[in-house]
């Protein structure tokens, strides 16, 4: 997978796995990393699927309708890539916190839905429920931050609350942060996620 890796100054801090939204690339999320934790190493990945020339992490059939088989395949692909990247760049595979926006948040959520210990934690900005009707792996002790907009037309409030409930039922510790905006990523969300990250992983 096309990606960038930047080694950080804090070897004990989680590696930040940056996952862009539709139409983004491996550089889009880089400005968020120093805001969340400047000492962390960064692994920023570009999605392998193109939709009208725009990179994504998995195909969709329509707005809000995921291609479930492709989602499963691409989730497995990302999981395998993380194993390879940890070996190549010599970081702890069990010390990765995903930071995803929109489509990137959805693929991060899918990692949590499909693989036990895929991530040490996750910051999900405007995620949807990746799959329904499946048993989630054991997520006890996994802290998850969800940033959401109460006026988000793509991820409506009930969708966000459903995702939060599913993760909590699997044992995750979910911090749900609301903004009064739509689907855009706000500075308030990023600041709140940075404070949450410091409390859970640095303090």
Q: So which residues are the catalytic ones?
A: 102, 152, 183
Nearest to 32 by CA among 174, 143, 21, 179: 21
The three-class DSSP label of residue 189 is helix
Residue 132 near residue 158, CB atoms below 8 Å: no
CA separation for the pair 102, 179 (Å, rounded) = 15
Distance of alpha carbon 165 from alpha carbon 163, whole angstroms: 5
At residue 73's C-alpha, the angle toward residues 82 and 144, to 5°, is: 55
Reading the block at residue 170, the tokens are: 């699997």
Rounded Cα distance between 104 and 49, Å, is 12
* Contact present, 121 and 100 (Cβ < 8 Å): no
């Amino acid at each position: 997978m096309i990606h960038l890796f930047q080694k950080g100054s804090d070897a004990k801090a989680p590696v930040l796995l940056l996952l862009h939204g539709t139409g983004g690339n491996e550089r889009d999320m880089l400005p968020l990393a120093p805001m969340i934790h400047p000492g962390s190493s960064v692994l920023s990945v570009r999605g392998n699927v193109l939709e009208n020339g725009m990179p994504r992490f998995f195909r969709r059939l329509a707005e809000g309708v995921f291609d479930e088989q492709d989602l499963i395949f691409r989730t497995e692909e990302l999981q395998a890539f993380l194993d390879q990247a940890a070996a190549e760049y010599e970081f702890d595979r069990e010390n990765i916190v995903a930071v995803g926006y929109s489509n990137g948040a959805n693929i991060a959520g899918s990692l949590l839905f499909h693989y036990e210990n895929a991530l040490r934690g996750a910051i999900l900005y405007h995620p949807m429920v990746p799959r329904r009707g499946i048993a989630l792996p054991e997520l006890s002790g996994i802290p998850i931050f969800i940033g959401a907009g109460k006026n988000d037309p793509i991820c409506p409030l009930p969708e966000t609350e459903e995702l939060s409930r599913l993760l909590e039922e699997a044992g995750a510790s979910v911090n749900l942060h609301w903004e009064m905006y739509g689907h855009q990523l706000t500075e308030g969300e990023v600041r709140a996620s940075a404070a949450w990250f410091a409390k859970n992983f640095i303090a």
